[in-house]
Structure 1
Amino acid sequence: MKLSSKALLALAISSITATAYAETQSQDFVPTTLAATSAQGEAKGFIEDFSLGGTTRNWYSHESKYRGGTFAYQKHGQTLTDRNRTNWVQGTILNASSGFTQGTVGVKTEVAVYNALVLDRSKRDIKGGSNRTLADSNGDAVDQWSKLGLANVQFRVSNTTLTAGRQNFSSGIVDTIGNRALPSSFQGVSFNSEEFSNLSFQGGVFDRVSPRSEQSLSKFRTEYGNGAETDKVSTLGVNYQPLKSLKTSFFAANVKDFWNQYYFGATHELGDAQQLGLTTGFNYYKTVDEGKKEMGEIDNDTFSLSLGLTHQAHSLTFGYQQVNGNEYFDYLHETNGIYLANSLTSDFNGPNEKSFQIAYAINMAEYGVPGLKFNAYSARGWGIDGTHYTGNNGRAKFAYDGIQSQDGEKHQEYGVGASYAVQSGPLKATAIRATYVEHRGSEFQSDGSIKEFRLVTTIPFNIL
């Protein structure tokens, strides 16, 4: 598929039309000044600001492969296959968090216990579990398990916080991922500094990840690689808002002996959503090999551009994404470190791949049903070409197995979803979301052909 002249014209018209209505969103410059208040100066105390609460999530997924694809599992020493896989898990988080002590240097602790209860324990259904259900070496579900998802101590001076231990972290390269019954977390040391009004700094050094569906800590590895592991991930970045309508961020990361990765992201808003608003998003990643080159030789530039039009309850988004490199655009496993517009069920990140997405969403609050939303999208990727890949760094085993067989591969994905958030009462903020996705790939496209229905209910609760 090629981006036609009509599609390009539609994007241009969308941008021009939104500009014509641009009256409300301020484009004023934001001067950089010291923060008006000190977060530590407002500390209430270690016990006084203590909280105990959490969430419980019912996570159900049914997948079906087609066009010859199958899932495999072991039974009585035999490998059996069929088209379907079902995972059903109840994940609960109990979080105890103190307040910061008062004084120049505040101290705080946070501990969160993660628990998973497997509701579908059939070996045939879970197919070894993958990253959805924890299974033992025989492929049997671990019926119930718990772990410390978070366990850290925090030190704060003014508006700068240092966190040590198991923690959440969010940036364009290293980001906690929460799309299963339980989220991931990272072990290490990080800081967040918000001493200025429109300028903040973040950084961290992590040596282990706590996976979504595992009890133990793991070394970092990549989402698409050959299983090589690393002991150290370091990242540093800045978030800057130069205009009231423009937010930017820049992050760099060193993944020891894998790669150096650089990320730039920008979001700009224009117009009035009650009339016509335009949101433009740009994301760019540069990845180059580093150290021992455990992932082979890498020189990859990947970007996405999205244009979102909003009129009252309705939004229409166009997204274009392109990979310039003979390997996948890759990122760290058990992270959400891919802020590209077309990262969906498929990441649309094949070597030299181009992709285009159209998405529509409606917010029913405008029609008297607050909390209810619907969405639909269609995405296509084309031009996948791994035939020029030579990045095995002289090793017998390629970092990205099978990539050289991808010659002109293409794929498409469709999805629909509905979500509802309870607005009041004892279940306030409870979120229910149902999605159906269908993905179809050509012969050597890595994601294959699969359909998935997912139903997720998340209920927050407060004890103290």
Structure 2
Amino acid sequence: MKPALTFTPLFLAIAATISPLAHAADAPPTDGFVEGSSLTINTRNYYMNRDRRDIHTDDSKEWGQGFLGVFESGYTQGTVGFGLDAHAMLGLKLDGGGGTDGSSILPYGSGNGKAPGSFSTGGGTLKVRAFDTELKAGDLFLNNPVIAGGMTRMLPETFRGVSLTNHSLDGWMFEGGQASFAKLYNQSGHGRIGTSYGALPKGQDSQHMNWAGVAWSGLPGLTSNLYASELKDVWNQYYYDLDYTYALNDLVSLNPGLHFYHTQDTGHALLGDIDNNTYSLHFTVGVGNHSVTAAYQRVNGNTPFDYIAQGDSVYLDNSQQYSDFNGPNERSWKLKYAYDFAGLGVPGLTSAVSYISGKTDLTKVDPNSRGYSAWYSAEGKNAKHWERDIDLKYVVQGGKAKDLAVRLQWATNRGSNGYSAVDRDVDEYRVIVDYPINVF
């Protein structure tokens, strides 16, 4: 049995820098607890039609209306300021699904397979600010490369734990934290934090996740992030990225970038042996309102690249609408074209078309691997799949409907030679309508 680790060395090194930096600046001005408060409400109407072509399920449509209200207070006066954030979510079933489609719009049904007519949740966060350091404890909206809730479904995922953020140095952001529970996109209650692709043994859960990170944007057009995390008794995960945008002139820009993850099993290794290096490279050429991106992604390891359940903490170029192209030893290419219709006098209208192709040898996956055996296929010697995505979005620019956004998404995924066990033959359509309301 491998010795359990509480924190990775990199986690300790980064976290140790946060406290001293808190004294590097004077206390920032504050508007006060009440004066600095805000309340926003986002309404999201979400329709998803996922047609699984290989198994032809009848109930693959879900349609719902979501409401997310977020209150954020200011801070009390003084060197150390205190505040309170709160949120409430409500999801209404409009039609179909029952959760049997697995699209994460509506809750999974009970014995009758039907989703409830509504589901809701709420949460609060206590926060403390001293100098340029902010501590939060409670229900958190997180968004970083190793733990992110995101907004790709009707309602977001939230995490219960603590976080610490520091902005003392210009161009730098330091953060760290621990989360023990997660509220999934389509659920009201919380459960232990888990993974997206790995199947943990029954009755054995990871107790918490620790993370620490540094984000840097010290030069124009250049950004970089370095993160470390530990999902207790499952994995240590490290992330690095580098992204640079260079303007050749007023019309042409170049944007190369790199994302890299290393994942290694730790502690009791509840998902078995993991030794995975996954990276993606992209290069984008922008010409006026046009842009073309080429990307290459590679998974090195006999397990898939995995991340936190239902989250968006997969900062890889070929993570698409349906597939993440993250299978064991998978290699994938992407070509993407995007156009901003402001060039034709229609500001707010944007579009993108992508094509991605991936291949791997699934016979190299250990069929007895704990947690990832579903990826094994004796027929997967030359497993291939591809995905085609079309994305069209319009945001109203003015008037009473200002900021109303309508988004249409289409995805087609086709797999062969064993890939259907995970990445099925699917045609997927989404219609998403957002209307944010700033109450105060």
The alpha carbon displacement at 1:63 in A equals 1.5
1:192 matched to 2:178? The reply is no
> In structure 2, do the counterparts of structure 1 residues 234 and 398 end up closer, same or farther at CA, with 3 Å as the change threshold?
closer
Structure 1 residue 69 corresponds to structure 2 residue 58:
no
Q: Structure 1 stretches of 5 or more lacking a match?
A: 1-33, 72-81
Equivalent residue letter for 1:232: H
Matches within 5 A, 1:369-408: 369-382=346-359, 384-390=360-366, 392=368, 398-405=371-378, 406-408=380-382
Residue 259 in structure 1 maps to residue 235 in structure 2? yes
Matches within 5 A, 1:169-248: 169-228=142-201, 229-248=205-224
- How far off its partner does 1:386 sit? 3.0
C-alpha distance in structure 2 between counterparts of 1:179 and 1:407, whole Å: 33
Q: 2:85 aligns with which of 100, 110, 128?
A: 110
Report SS of the residue matched to 1:401. helix
Write the distance in 2 (CA, Å) between the matches of 1:122 and 1:449: 19
Check the 8 A contact 1:209/1:334 in 2, yes or no: no
CA contact (8 A) 1:253 1:260 kept: yes
Residue type matched to 1:184 in 2? E
Of 28, 48, 65, which aligns to 2:35? 48
1: distance between equivalents of 2:315 and 2:249? Answer: 24
The answer to whether the 8 A contact 1:87-1:129 is kept is no
Q: Matches of residues 17-416 of structure 1 in structure 2 within 5 Å?
A: 40-66=27-53, 68-71=54-57, 82=58, 85-121=60-96, 127=100, 131-138=104-111, 139-148=113-122, 150-228=123-201, 229-272=205-248, 274-344=250-320, 345-382=322-359, 384-390=360-366, 392=368, 398-405=371-378, 406-416=380-390
| TM-score scaled by length of structure 1 | 0.85
SS of 1:41's partner is coil
Q: Could you report, residue by residue, the CA deviation over 1:60-99 in whole angstroms, capped at 9, with x for unpaired residues?
A: 0111122x3233xxxxxxxxxx3x5101010101122211
C-alpha separation in 1, matches of 2:183 and 2:150: 11
The code of the aligned residue for 1:55 comes to N
Partner of residue 15, structure 2: none
In 2, Cα distance between the equivalents of 1:302 and 1:191?
28
User: 1:106, 1:400 → 2: CA distance?
Assistant: 50
**Is residue 223–residue 331 contact of structure 1 (8 Å, CA) maintained in 2?**
yes
Aligned length: 411
What is the CA deviation profile of residues 180-211 of structure 1, one whole-angstrom value per residue up to 9, with x for unaligned ones? Answer: 11000110000110000012211110000111
Deviation at 1:417, TM superposition (A): 1.5
For residues 279-330 of structure 1, what are the alpha-carbon distances to aligned partners after superposition, in whole Å with 9 as ceiling and x for unaligned? 1110000011101111110111110000011111101001100011111111
CA distance in 1: counterparts of 2:166 and 2:172, whole angstroms: 9
What's the CA shift for 1:273?
6.6
Residue 9 of structure 2 corresponds to which residue in structure 1? Answer: none
Identical pairs, percent: 32
2:403 corresponds in structure 1 to: 429
Q: Give 1:347 deviation, angstroms.
A: 0.5
Are the equivalent residues in 2 in contact too, given 1:129–1:141 (CA < 8 A)?
A: no
Scaled by the length of structure 2, the TM-score of the pair is: 0.89
Contact 1:270 1:279 in 2 (8 A): yes
Contact 1:60 1:87 in 2 (8 A): yes
CA contact (8 A) 2:97 2:106 kept: no
Q: From the superposition, tell whether residues 122 and 266 of structure 1 become closer, same or farther in structure 2 (CA, over 3 Å).
A: closer
- Asked if the contact 1:153/1:165 (under 8 Å) is kept, the reply is yes
CA distance in 2, matches of 1:372, 1:128: 31
Post-superposition offset of 1:134: 1.0
Please give the alpha-carbon distance, in whole angstroms, between the structure 2 residues aligned to 1:206 and 1:391: 32
CA RMSD of aligned residues (A): 1.9
- For residue 440 of structure 1, what is the aligned residue in structure 2? 414
Q: 1:331 to 1:312 in 2, by over 3 A?
A: same
Q: State the secondary structure of the residue aligned to 2:28.
A: helix
Q: Point out where structure 2 has 5 or more consecutive residues left out of the alignment.
A: 1-20
Alignment partner of 2:364: what SS? Answer: coil
Equivalent position amino acid for 1:109 in 2:
L
- After TM superposition, give the deviation of residue 390 of structure 1 in Å: 3.2
- Give 1:122 deviation, angstroms: 6.1
> 1:292 and 1:122, CA in 2 relative to 1: closer, same or farther beyond 3 A?
closer
